[in-house]
């Protein structure tokens, strides 16, 4: 049981219209009673109502600020504890004065994520739902936010709990056989365990596979625009970002460093990087730019290799493709400046030679949507039902799912070798424990603390 009361600011620190200070714990109402003056004492105020009044220094009666005070009684609160929220005028000075007054009267400063941690410890949400809270706060696009909200609402938890229940059912069947061996049902039970375990592994596989897209959605996809100098890399960057982010000139080698910006492609956050042209050069500064370009290619999720379609593909062009292949990175071939090709037959021949390439003209704004569509299709693997899937977006969850699957694969192997039921039970229990680490049923205290340490103060 948590016995102390915490307080923290839940809005951004700085000048703003209002500041919201949150207090949670058994003495939240008592502390508010000492400091707040309104029509009613806070202890007499109805739960889930708002009251206008002032916060006063208890010794002098001097007013700090006019506020709106919201009272919420346990258990119908975010933390399942008594919660008081004070909405004051925005600004660092007032917020700091109010917080100090709460601390002087019995509250202590809330640690990062401690309100959400209390919601988890008090059973309002599980660990995966708690992690979704931070994902909502950090979401870069509406689609990312929707996925995080679905996780907060329990989509992932419900699916995992269904899988856990299937394993628990198997374990209960084993316990019956071990407790009542005279019924001699072991052979039948092993066959049943084998069949059910195969079904569970398929479900885990689907969740594990979803992580590829979930990770890109949560963390963003890194897309590098690469090519030799003066093929249109910076122009494509500016066109995709809708900004004049990169300097564009006819002089080769203008871009000397990696320039980056975030864009939103159909709800997928994409970190776009414009790189220096890859070529042999004696310019020391340009050499460093080329080295950074090659490093960006190594780190990218996807590479857009852009060519000047009015010129022949040369060794420097091919070296970029070779680099992508060497790093085993997926890439999109993009032929720019098709407006400069006057011979239609030459353009058709080029398209025939490169059937999967994209042909664009940045100056005439032609074909750019094909690049965006290719990036989206790569991220989703042409999956048209991504909005209705249960997605795994967290690397910790993926790791535990893989561990759970490994134990279940051992169960399958042991079933085929007709191992005894108590041996099968050991790996089934281990798999159950790995799944429980995701939801918090078997979470290690250090892991829990590390998760909430990533949260912002006041949440």
Model pLDDT, residue 389: 78
* Averaged pLDDT, 334-351: 85
Does residue 362 belong to any structural domain of this protein?
yes
Task: Please give the residue that has the higher pLDDT: either 24 or 389.
Answer: 24
Pair type for strands 36-38 and 221-226? unpaired
Does residue 369 belong to any structural domain of this protein?
yes
The mean predicted confidence, pLDDT, of the chain is 85
Going by pLDDT thresholds of 50, 70 and 90, the confidence category of residue 70 is very high
Does residue 459 belong to any structural domain of this protein?
no
pLDDT at 148 over 90: no
Q: Are residues 276 and 253 in the same domain?
A: yes
Last residue of a domain, one of 345, 363, 386: 386
DSSP helix/strand/coil, 139: coil
Q: Are residues 268 and 414 in the same domain?
A: no
E strand spans, 142-267: 221-226, 259-265
CATH of the domain at 261: 3.40.50.300
Angle between helices 155-179 and 186-219 (to 10 degrees): 160
> Which of 374, 382, 330 minimizes the C-alpha distance to 213?
382
Model pLDDT, residue 247: 44
Q: Tens of pLDDT along 403-425?
A: 999 999 999 999 989 888 889 99
Does residue 117 belong to any structural domain of this protein?
no
Task: Tell me the β-bridge partners of 334.
Answer: 306, 358
Q: Tens of pLDDT along 211-229?
A: 988 888 888 888 988 888 8
Q: Are residues 189 and 238 in the same domain?
A: no
Which pair of structure tokens corresponds to residue 194?
Answer: 């084998």
Q: Are residues 74 and 88 in the same domain?
A: yes
Q: Are residues 340 and 230 in the same domain?
A: yes
Q: Tens of pLDDT along 180-205?
A: 555 554 555 788 889 999 999 999 99
Model pLDDT, residue 181: 57
> If you average pLDDT over each of 105-109, 185-189, 452-456, which comes out highest?
105-109
Give me the long-range contacts of 116-119 (CB less than 8 A, separation at least 24): 116/78, 116/452, 116/455, 116/459, 117/448, 117/452, 117/455, 118/2, 118/6, 118/24, 118/79, 118/80, 118/81, 119/78, 119/79, 119/80
Its domain, for residue 363, covers 220-386
Q: What angle do CA 5, 11, 14 make, to 5 degrees?
A: 120
DSSP helix/strand/coil, 356: coil
Which pair of structure tokens corresponds to residue 220?
Answer: 């963003």
Sheet holding 18-24, edge to edge: 36-38, 49-56, 63-72, 83-89, 18-24, 6-9, 108-109
Whole-angstrom distance, CA of residue 129 vs CA of residue 153: 7
Last residue of a domain, one of 110, 143, 175: 110
Going by pLDDT thresholds of 50, 70 and 90, the confidence category of residue 49 is very high
Give me the long-range contacts of 43-46 (CB less than 8 A, separation at least 24): 45/69, 45/71, 46/71
Which pair of structure tokens corresponds to residue 396?
Answer: 């910790």
Going by pLDDT thresholds of 50, 70 and 90, the confidence category of residue 111 is very high
E strand spans, 309-398: 331-336, 358-359
Model pLDDT, residue 203: 95
Q: Are residues 381 and 401 in the same domain?
A: no
Q: Are residues 151 and 100 in the same domain?
A: no
Report CA-CA distances (Å) from 372 to 142, 211, 331: 18, 22, 13
pLDDT at 161 over 90: yes
pLDDT at 335 over 80: yes
> Which of 240, 167, 161, 235 minimizes the C-alpha distance to 425?
167
Task: Please give the residue that has the higher pLDDT: either 255 or 331.
Answer: 331
Q: Are residues 105 and 36 in the same domain?
A: yes
Model pLDDT, residue 180: 58
Model pLDDT, residue 254: 44
Q: Are residues 212 and 225 in the same domain?
A: no
Q: Tens of pLDDT along 261-316?
A: 888 888 888 888 887 655 455 455 455 666 677 777 888 889 998 888 888 777 77
Instruction: Give the total number of structural domains in the chain.
Output: 3
Asked if the bond preceding 75 is cis, omega within 30° of 0, the reply is yes
Going by pLDDT thresholds of 50, 70 and 90, the confidence category of residue 245 is low
Does residue 115 belong to any structural domain of this protein?
no
Q: Are residues 87 and 14 in the same domain?
A: yes
Does residue 91 belong to any structural domain of this protein?
yes
Whole-angstrom distance, CA of residue 404 vs CA of residue 435: 6
Does residue 407 belong to any structural domain of this protein?
yes
**DSSP for residue 111:** P
CATH of the domain at 90: 3.30.1360.120
The structure's pTM equals 0.77
**DSSP for residue 366:** B
Which of 68-72, 140-144, 176-180 has the weakest average pLDDT? 176-180
Model pLDDT, residue 79: 95
Q: Are residues 276 and 337 in the same domain?
A: yes
Q: Are residues 298 and 227 in the same domain?
A: yes
Which of 145-154, 178-187, 205-214, 350-359 has the weakest average pLDDT? 178-187
pLDDT at 318 over 60: yes
Pair type for strands 18-24 and 83-89? antiparallel
- Which helix (H) or strand (E) segment holds residue 445: the answer is helix 445-453
> If you average pLDDT over each of 171-175, 248-252, 430-434, which comes out highest?
430-434
Which pair of structure tokens corresponds to residue 141?
Answer: 């696009």
Report CA-CA distances (Å) from 208 to 199, 213, 389: 14, 10, 12
Give every CB contact of residue 220 below 8 A, 6+ residues apart in sequence: 140, 262, 268, 269, 270, 271
Which of 19-23, 114-118, 285-289, 378-382 has the weakest average pLDDT? 285-289
| pLDDT more than 70, % of the chain | 89
Return the number of other C-beta atoms located less than 10 Å from residue 380's C-beta.
17
Does residue 1 belong to any structural domain of this protein?
no
Model pLDDT, residue 138: 81
pLDDT at 91 over 70: yes
CATH of the domain at 148: 1.20.120.430
Q: Decide if 458 contacts 9 (C-beta within 8 A).
A: yes
* Averaged pLDDT, 122-150: 87
**DSSP for residue 211:** H
Last residue of a domain, one of 386, 413, 444: 386
């Amino acid at each position: 049981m948590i016995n102390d009361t915490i307080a923290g600011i839940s809005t951004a620190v700085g000048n703003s219209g209002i500041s919201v200070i949150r207090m949670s714990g058994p003495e939240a109402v008592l502390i508010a009673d000492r400091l707040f003056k309104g029509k009613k004492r806070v202890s007499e105020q109805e739960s889930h109502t708002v009251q206008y009044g002032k916060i006063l220094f208890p010794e002098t009666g001097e007013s700090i600020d006019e506020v709106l005070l919201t009272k919420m009684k346990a258990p119908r609160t975010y933390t399942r504890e008594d919660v008081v929220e004070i909405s004051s005028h925005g600004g660092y000075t007032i917020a700091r004065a109010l917080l100090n007054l709460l601390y002087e009267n019995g509250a202590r400063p809330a640690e990062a994520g401690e309100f959400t941690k209390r919601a988890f410890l008090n059973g309002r949400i599980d660990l995966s739902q708690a992690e979704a809270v931070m994902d909502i706060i950090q979401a870069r696009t509406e689609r990312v936010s929707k996925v995080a909200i679905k996780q907060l609402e329990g989509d992932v938890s419900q699916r995992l709990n269904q899988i856990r229940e299937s394993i628990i059912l198997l374990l209960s069947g084993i316990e019956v056989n071990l407790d009542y061996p005279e019924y001699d049902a072991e052979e039948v039970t092993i066959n049943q365990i084998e069949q059910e375990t195969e079904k569970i592994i398929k479900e885990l596989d689907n969740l594990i596979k979803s992580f590829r897209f979930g990770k890109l959605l949560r963390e963003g996809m890194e897309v590098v625009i690469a090519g030799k100098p003066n093929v249109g890399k910076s122009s494509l960057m500016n066109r995709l970002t809708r900004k004049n982010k990169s300097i564009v000139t006819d002089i080769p080698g203008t871009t000397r460093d990696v320039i980056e910006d975030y864009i939103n492609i159909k709800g997928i956050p994409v970190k776009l990087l414009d790189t220096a042209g890859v070529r042999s050069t004696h310019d020391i500064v340009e050499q460093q730019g080329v080295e950074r370009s090659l490093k960006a290619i190594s780190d990218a999720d996807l590479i857009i290799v852009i060519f000047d379609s009015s010129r022949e593909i040369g060794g420097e062009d091919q070296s970029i493709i070779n680099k992508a292949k060497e790093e085993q990175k997926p890439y999109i071939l993009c032929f720019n400046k098709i407006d400069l090709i006057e011979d239609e037959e030459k353009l058709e021949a080029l398209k025939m030679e490169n059937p999967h390439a994209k042909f664009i003209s940045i100056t005439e704004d032609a074909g750019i949507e094909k690049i965006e569509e290719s990036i989206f299709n790569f991220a989703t693997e042409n999956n048209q039902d991504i909005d209705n899937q249960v997605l795994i977006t967290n690397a910790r969850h993926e790791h535990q799912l893989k561990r759970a699957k490994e134990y279940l694969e051992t169960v399958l192997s042991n079933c085929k070798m007709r191992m005894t039921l108590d041996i099968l039970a050991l790996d089934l229990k281990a798999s159950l424990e790995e799944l429980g680490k995701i939801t918090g049923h078997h979470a290690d205290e250090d892991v829990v603390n590390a998760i909430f340490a990533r949260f912002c103060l006041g949440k």
